[in-house]
Structure 1
Amino acid sequence: MKKIFNHIFLVSSLSFFSLQCSDESFDIPPNSQDRPETIFNNEANYRLVLDGAYDAFKSPIYYSGDTGNSIILGDVLADNLILNPDGRFTNKSAYEWTYTPQTGAVTALYSSAYFVISRANVVLDNLSKVPYTDYMKNIEAEAKAIRAIAHFDLVRAYAEIPTQSSNASSSLGIAYVTTFDTNIKPSRDATVEITYNKIIKDLEEALANINSDNGSIARLNKTSILGFLSRVYLYKGDYEKAIEYGEQCITASSSVGTRDNFVNIWRDASQDGELFIIPNANVSDDDVRVGVAYNQTLSNGIQSEYNVNYDLFTKLGSTDIRKEAYTLTSNFGTTAYNHVIKHRTRASSTSLNVVNIKLLRTAEVYLNVAEAYMKSSSANPTRALALLNILRAQRYSSYTAGTESGTDLLNAIYNERRLELAFENDRFWTLKRLGQSIVRSDYGSKADGTGTDAPTGALKTLPAGNFRFVLPIPQDAINLNPNMVQNPGY
């Protein structure tokens, strides 16, 4: 951990605060302050530093690069993808479930998330240096929300999820860091429940003070905080709260992304149904290739690291607009594959794999609330079905409203979640929070499901409750921090 914070001690230099994002949604001039002790002398500079915290979501390797990129992590660990034998075999330890504390190859999320947190904490540590106006109240709210979101990504990866087992809530949490201190040696929270309560506290305090509109969906606001609260409470198993906050979010932003706009959402030509994004401009200093973890384009076609598992590919039927938005069947050399193109390019752009990062969409909130209604003590399957049908009506052509009930309805919600959030870092965490095994299909990697590379043996199934559902704390963090405890099994 000390190594991580020593790295982020770049806060003491100008480069820590220099912002490199010039997307039309988020055009910020470079900071001209020369010393950290003088930067916090006016409200505008707090905005500059805080926007640097948003920008840190693109730091290596939170949502950038290939090995360990969060854009692929939740799918390569699960059953949505299959290793392409013509690829470079990136993320192989994640796919094979062979990651160790020493290799760290599964993801750099641990250091990257704490980097985001450090930037948010720098703002929060220095709030008292200017008058506490409404402007600063909003700055504080955004910073707390950023801190909570990054900690949530950490806790679902490096600890158990409260709903995955009867004793998960009492298992070890993560280190919830609330100040910027390069000498800090934090301990992990005694329980997962404590960590979730801290996340919720930050988010609810943010909700109370944040602006309804901060000028762009590239900055958090009341609606997006409501959406994140629906996510966190669903993971915590507090379904009444997931409903409460999710319904408020839906009221404020009801579109799940219309069918007519859906392909353009993934080409950055529409923001329909988006609640919070990290912008990614097509300029030389902000050309973060978030989609490179999936594939690259060469002279002989798309070279994919992983292809769509054929089982999932067939579930995306011919009337489903997501098949067009998410996938493309084409050759690499002489072999046809089903490629993931969800993060491949924006409209009218020559910069491949450079797109805005969609961290929250209204469609997810619909699915959160629908599932919560099925599990709440005051269950409301009628409303759950209505929410599901609103989403399905915008994904399937000539759609006839579904009439499922009971277990069939809950399974339909799970199925739609898999299809809707495929390749958005959701699948592994959903299976984990449901306490389910990962069971990969018997199909090979070719476009028609053939091939001799179908998962077998240790690549086929990760049983529910296996210790590898919790990722290992990187060994270098443990070596540098005697208070840090490794997860069981490693």
Structure 2
Amino acid sequence: MKKIISISLLSLAMLSLLQCSDERFDILPNNQDAPSTIFTTESNYRLVLDGAYDAFKSPTYYNGDTGSSIILGDVLADNLILNPQGRQTNKKAYEWSYTPQDNAVTALYASAYQVISRANYVLDNLNKVPYTNFMKNVEAEAKAIRAIAHFDLVRAYAKIPTQSSGASSSLGIAYVTTFNPEIKPSRDATVTASYDKIIADLQDALAKINANNGSIGRLNKTSILGFLSRVYLYKGDYNNAVLYGEQCIAANPSVGTNANFINIWRDASDDGELFTILNSNLSTDNVTVGVAYNQNSSGIRSEYNVDYDLFNKYGGTGANADIRKPAYLLTANFGSIPYNHVIKYRSRTGSTVGQVVDIKFLRSAEVYLNVAEAYMKSTAPNPTRALQLLNILRTQRYGTTDSPYVPGTETGTALLNAIYNERRLELAFENDRFWTIKRLGQSVVRSDFGSSANGGGGDAPTGALKTLPAGNFRFVLPIPQDAINLNPNLVQNTGY
């Protein structure tokens, strides 16, 4: 752990030049400085805190070809199929053949602790100036950032409470709450303990954070409510998932309108976004987050294509027309072969720089789905409200002006399955699918289709690539071996 946390100390570059344009910010690294000289003014705390946000764009968190969270949750699951004409990145993740030495699944570990260490650097130095309302908000943002990164770690490197009996009492993660390069923390004794710490940080942040922090690239009260709905859903505390999710929906009810939806993915609209990692076209930023999916090389050269079974689930014409299909997918040749490409992260309106777009970390559409599912599973089920929330989302995704969507009327198990189906379609390629399958205690079962646009190609998953059975140890990713070598207090996950 010493080496992992020290990475952020070396790269902190804490005193940064902040440039604001259209309520968007970019962090431009400067020379590292000591706390006694950095933490002298409230504005400097803001600069350092924005550096913590910026760390979400570090290589292998939401940046880079291998192990990036932009693709990890889908390549491990059933939404994607390896393209034989790609560069074979993340192949061991796709094949479920990873080990503690494989960057394809271990890269997030160090990157998330880098985010955490930057947040802790702020929190450890709050006492350098008077504790004003501004500083209370700084504290809240830093605690929320710390909680979000720890959540990404715990769902990947530990069991999810709802996936099986006994999961809650299994080993948690190392929850780090101080900036100390010498620290060698142990993992929490239980997953429940890790979730409780995440929730405590988010609850404290909720009590202190501003309603509006001036940019969609910074956390605020509404986005914290949304994250609480996510964490409580994963914990299996469905009553609280409803409680905080409904407050989030009341504060930001738009799921992203049909008219705006394509523009959301081209960075021409922020409709329905709750928290976004901003990514400029400046030479100092320019993070090509979409490169994990494909590159522009005499056409679209994809690393992975949309599984044909999923491709066919997106509707066709009239009342079944699904706006997500043109927003997310494009059928085009690479060489002489047509493929179904993921284009969510391919281009920004008005820009000639490929793959550089903002990262939609949390959207209100997810919160609607969180709450709808939680209503079906809470101690006081409310299927009427669950269906209402689902139909609000579906009304903005299906149909045309001439042939509008006809609201669904599902009940019982059919309604719950409709919520699951809509979650897969809505959050495809947003680092959700594998974790949802894991959370529900299901198996990953890939289709029989190949990689070409019509499902052919002769490269359909078979044998060990076809199914990852529920409960398989590989649903919990391995702790990087170099982290264990540096910190003997860490315990490796079972099976590795």
TM-score, normalised via structure 2 length: 0.96
Gap runs ≥5 in structure 2: none
With over 3 angstroms needed to count, the CA separation of the structure-2 counterparts of 1:97 and 1:28, relative to structure 1, is closer
The secondary structure found in structure 1 opposite 2:139 is helix
CA contact (8 A) 1:22 1:286 kept: no
User: Which aligned pairs between 1:209-358 and structure 2 lie closer than 5 A?
Assistant: 209-299=208-298, 301-318=299-316, 319-358=321-360
The Cα offsets for residues 105-141 of structure 1, whole Å up to 9 and x where unpaired, read as 3241000000000000000000011100000000000
CA contact (8 A) 1:19 1:55 kept: no
- 1:471 aligned to 2:477? yes
CA contact (8 A) 2:445 2:467 kept: yes
| Corresponding residue of 1:367 | 369
The Cα offsets for residues 47-105 of structure 1, whole Å up to 9 and x where unpaired, read as 00000000000011100011111000000000000000110000000000011012233
CA contact (8 A) 2:300 2:333 kept: yes
With over 3 angstroms needed to count, the CA separation of the structure-2 counterparts of 1:364 and 1:170, relative to structure 1, is same
| Corresponding residue of 1:39 | 38
The Cα offsets for residues 193-214 of structure 1, whole Å up to 9 and x where unpaired, read as 0000000000000000000000
Write the letter of the residue equivalent to 1:354.
V
- 1:52 aligned to 2:58? no
The secondary structure found in structure 2 opposite 1:484 is coil
Q: What is the Cα deviation at residue 16 of structure 1? A: 4.0
The Cα offsets for residues 18-50 of structure 1, whole Å up to 9 and x where unpaired, read as 368766433367568843321101111100000
Write the letter of the residue equivalent to 2:334.
F
Question: 1:292, 1:423 → 2: CA distance?
Answer: 13
- 1:125 aligned to 2:131? no
User: Which aligned pairs between 1:140-179 and structure 2 lie closer than 5 A?
Assistant: 140-179=139-178
CA contact (8 A) 1:25 1:279 kept: no
Question: 1:43, 1:443 → 2: CA distance?
Answer: 56
Question: 1:363, 1:291 → 2: CA distance?
Answer: 21
The count of corresponding residues between Structure 1 and Structure 2 is 487
Question: 2:34, 2:65 → 1: CA distance?
Answer: 34
Q: What is the Cα deviation at residue 348 of structure 1? A: 1.0
CA contact (8 A) 1:158 1:470 kept: yes
With over 3 angstroms needed to count, the CA separation of the structure-2 counterparts of 1:85 and 1:33, relative to structure 1, is closer
Question: 1:117, 1:308 → 2: CA distance?
Answer: 33
| Corresponding residue of 2:6 | 6
Question: 2:15, 2:184 → 1: CA distance?
Answer: 24
Write the letter of the residue equivalent to 1:310.
Y
Match for residue 379 of structure 1 among 359, 378, 381: 381
User: Which aligned pairs between 1:422-433 and structure 2 lie closer than 5 A?
Assistant: 422-433=428-439
User: Which aligned pairs between 1:189-208 and structure 2 lie closer than 5 A?
Assistant: 189-208=188-207
Write the letter of the residue equivalent to 1:478.
I
Question: 1:29, 1:425 → 2: CA distance?
Answer: 25
CA contact (8 A) 1:370 1:387 kept: yes
Write the letter of the residue equivalent to 1:8.
S
CA contact (8 A) 2:27 2:50 kept: no
Question: 1:96, 1:384 → 2: CA distance?
Answer: 36
Identity of aligned residues (%): 75
Write the letter of the residue equivalent to 2:427.
L
Question: 2:173, 2:21 → 1: CA distance?
Answer: 34
| Corresponding residue of 2:406 | 400
More off after superposition, 86-95 vs 102-111: 102-111
The secondary structure found in structure 2 opposite 1:275 is strand
The secondary structure found in structure 1 opposite 2:156 is helix
| Corresponding residue of 1:110 | 109
Question: 1:72, 1:342 → 2: CA distance?
Answer: 11
The secondary structure found in structure 2 opposite 1:160 is coil
Question: 1:143, 1:298 → 2: CA distance?
Answer: 40
With over 3 angstroms needed to count, the CA separation of the structure-2 counterparts of 1:17 and 1:10, relative to structure 1, is farther
Aligned alpha-carbon RMSD (Å): 1.3
Question: 2:307, 2:431 → 1: CA distance?
Answer: 15
The secondary structure found in structure 2 opposite 1:337 is strand
With over 3 angstroms needed to count, the CA separation of the structure-2 counterparts of 1:447 and 1:19, relative to structure 1, is farther
Match for residue 419 of structure 2 among 413, 417, 425: 413
TM-score, normalised via structure 1 length: 0.97
Gap runs ≥5 in structure 1: none
The Cα offsets for residues 325-384 of structure 1, whole Å up to 9 and x where unpaired, read as 000000000000000000111101111110001000000000000000000010000000
Write the letter of the residue equivalent to 2:387.
L
Question: 2:2, 2:392 → 1: CA distance?
Answer: 48
Write the letter of the residue equivalent to 2:179.
F
Question: 1:278, 1:102 → 2: CA distance?
Answer: 28
Write the letter of the residue equivalent to 2:432.
D
Question: 1:233, 1:158 → 2: CA distance?
Answer: 18
